[in-house]
Amino acid sequence: MAVYISTALSLQMLTTDASHDIHIYPMTVGQVREFYRDHVPVVSAVGHADTAQVVSDLLGVEVPYQRISLHLEPGDLLVVAQLIGGRLPEGSTTLPEGFELRFMGVQVKS
């Protein structure tokens, strides 16, 4: 099982020639930290440097800025760090007032 973190789920991450059973569920900050502790490495696909810094600050672990394409296989977990409140102001290193990050787990079952 591979574990990834990103800011979105894209259908391009899935094989398009098959049906998929996907389980999506909310995760707490503590649960995401636990995955970092228990499932090293967690591969980052966070494509914006400021967002990667904000996620790192919130989780207390390094989440590198890394623009990569993901291909999810059955058993993989994608942790989606969804920014709520608009676009981050340029140069943000912490979550500005009025913004929040919500974490969602995306488990590819088949």
In terms of pTM, does the model score above 0.85? yes
* Cα–Cα distance measured from residue 55 to residue 4, given in angstroms and rounded to the nearest whole number: 13
Rg of the chain's alpha carbons, rounded to an integer?
14
Of 2, 92, 74, 104, give the one whose Cα is nearest residue 44.
2
- Positive/negative CA dihedral, 107, 41, 103, 70: negative
- Tell me whether strands 3-6 and 77-84 are parallel, antiparallel or unpaired: parallel
Q: How do residues 21-79 score in pLDDT, each as one tens digit?
A: 999 999 999 999 988 888 778 999 999 999 999 999 999 999 999 999 999 999 999 99
pLDDT at 58: 92
Query: At how many degrees (to 10) do helices 49-59 and 29-38 cross?
Result: 90
CATH architecture for segment(s) 3-108: 3-Layer(aba) Sandwich (3.40)
Element spanning 105, H or E: strand 100-108
- Is there a contact between 70 and 32 (Cβ–Cβ < 8 Å)? no
